[in-house]
Amino acid sequence: MKRTQIYLDDEQDRLLAQRAAATGKTKSDLIRGAIDQYLDTPADDEARLAEFKAAAAAAFGIAPYFTHEYLDELREPDRQRTDELAAAGRVRPAARRKQASSQPVPAKGTVSDLVADQRR
């Protein structure tokens, strides 16, 4: 292990000492942990995008029951309540909502596109 020195302002030092006391770790342990966490993060946009694509690919298909029909069914009570409140003059009527199609059509740049790119 190499020794190094850093400068902290008074507030940083106070908060670091407080966190060290609360966790039972030394300030040095906390600083090393923060540096490790920082260095584990990809440094460039390309690497961050690749990490995001991998996470999206891993999560893809995890909830296949989240179809448009299912989500519309979940949202219907809220729509009805909003309509009731609008009819009673308690809220302004919302612009007519587009009815979601039963066939999802992913737009360019969606998670579906990212997953498709990842699988290529």
In a domain, 27, yes or no: yes
Whether residue 42 contacts residue 48, with contact meaning beta carbons closer than 8 Å, is answered with yes
Domain count within the chain: 1
Angle at 12 between CA 8 and CA 18, to 5 degrees: 130
C-alpha 37/C-alpha 34 separation (Å) is: 5
In a domain, 13, yes or no: yes
Where in the sequence is the domain holding 25, given as residue range(s)?
1-41
pLDDT at res. 43: 81
pLDDT at res. 41: 80
In a domain, 120, yes or no: no
In a domain, 82, yes or no: no
Q: Give pLDDT tens digits for 35-92.
A: 999 898 878 888 888 888 999 888 887 888 788 888 899 999 999 999 898 888 887 7
**Could you tell me where the beta strands, DSSP code E, fall in 30-119?**
none
In a domain, 108, yes or no: no
In a domain, 24, yes or no: yes
- Give the mean pLDDT of the chain: 81
